[in-house]
C-alpha cells in the first residue's frame, strides 16, 4: 500500500485496533488469506488492515456482499508447470470482519434490489 490510500488505511486500521472495534480471532494466526496464497500473512496486524480495507470498499462500492469482496481479495494460484488460475479470497475472514463491523454499527444489511452490506452514517464518520 503506497500513497494516500495506504496512509488512510493505516490510520483507520490503527484506530480499529486501539478502539477494540475489531478483534483478531485466535485462529487468524494460522490461516491463509486466499486459496492462491502459499503462506500466512507476515504482518502481525494484517487483520486490522483487512478490516479497514473492507470498510473502505463498502463505502466506495456498497451495497456489496461477501462473494464480491472475496473476488477483490483473491489472487492467482501457482500451479507448477500449468497456467496460473485466479482463486477467490477467504470468505470466512470477510464474514467474520463484517459481523464484527455490523455488531458495532459501522455497517448494516440492506435487502433492497441489490442486497449486501452498506456503510452507516456512523461508519462514514469513522472513516473520516
21-77: pLDDT as tens digits: 888 888 888 888 888 888 888 788 889 888 989 998 998 887 888 999 999 988 898
83 has a pLDDT exceeding 70: yes
1 has a pLDDT exceeding 60: no
2 has a pLDDT exceeding 60: no
Q: Considering only CA atoms, which of 105, 120, 116, 1 is closest in space to residue 50?
A: 1
User: Which domains does the chain carry?
Assistant: 3-127 (1.10.10.10)
* pTM of the entire predicted model: 0.84
Calpha distance 17→40 (Å, rounded): 20
Calpha distance 14→7 (Å, rounded): 11
What is the structure's pLDDT at 124? 84
The CA-based angle 115-33-124, given to 5 degrees, is 45
Amino acid at each position: 500500500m503506497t500513497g494516500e490510500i495506504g496512509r488512510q488505511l493505516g490510520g483507520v486500521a490503527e484506530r480499529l485496533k486501539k478502539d477494540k472495534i475489531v478483534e483478531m480471532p485466535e485462529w487468524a494466526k494460522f490461516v491463509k488469506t486466499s486459496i492462491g496464497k502459499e503462506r500466512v500473512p507476515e504482518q502481525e496486524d494484517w487483520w486490522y488492515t483487512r478490516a479497514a480495507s473492507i470498510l473502505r470498499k463498502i463505502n466506495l462500492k456498497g451495497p456489496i456482499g461477501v462473494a464480491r469482496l472475496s473476488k477483490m481479495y483473491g489472487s492467482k494460484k501457482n500451479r507448477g508447470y500449468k497456467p496460473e488460475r485466479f482463486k477467490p479470497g477467504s470468505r470466512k475472514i470477510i464474514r467474520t470482519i463484517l459481523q464484527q463491523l455490523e455488531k458495532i454499527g459501522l455497517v448494516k444489511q440492506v435487502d433492497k434490489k441489490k442486497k449486501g452490506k452498506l456503510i452507516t452514517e456512523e461508519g462514514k464518520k469513522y472513516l473520516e
